[in-house]
Amino acid sequence: MISYDKTQKILNDVFDIPISTGTIVNHVSEFTKKAEPVLNEIPTRLQEEAVLHFDETGTSVDTKTHWLHTASSEEATYITVHSKRGQAGTDDNGVLLGFSGVAVHDCWKPYFKYENCSHALCNAHLLRELLGVVENTGQVWAGLMMDFLRRLKLVVERCKAEGMFMLPDCCCESFGGGV
């Protein structure tokens, strides 16, 4: 995100390292070649995961909005840049195309076009949307839903800490069954 000229100035001014921008370009090129096998392996490895998180966020590239498309697990994150936010950018990222696990995302409509996987909503995004409902409309149910989701998260964390892979039946019954 920093130009070669700015990088050269920072290295020279802050660290007293006299280096040309050409040398920086060569180092970046060399690193890119060495990193390529690993970068090519990450999307394939991610597609083998049971659960992945997907998101997109805008950034400026040459004064135009481009989109960072991410696919991530606990172990790795794969980010690509594309001029389009929608399915074209997600397809270009490639991970979701070959993923058959659970895709956790922000409920953005284009994600649901991928029928090769199951879908789950990101609680952080859901809480943000519910907070918007509370702040803009004052609807009580949205605050109650936020409290419920936070309590449920604590229950899940406790169960995981105790080595459980499913909520016990008593929890499911108190949530109306089928959870």
pLDDT tens, 130-179?
Answer: 999 999 999 999 999 999 999 999 999 999 999 998 888 776 555 554 44
**Integer CA distances (angstroms), 83 to 63, 65, 71, in order:** 12, 7, 17
Is residue 94 within 8 Å of 52, Cβ to Cβ? no
- 96, 103 in Cβ contact below 8 A? yes
What's the pLDDT at 177? 47
Instruction: Report the alpha-carbon angle 89-92-98, nearest 5.
Output: 115
CB 72 within 8 A of CB 78: yes
Going by DSSP bridges, is the β-strand pair 51-61/77-82 parallel, antiparallel, or unpaired? unpaired
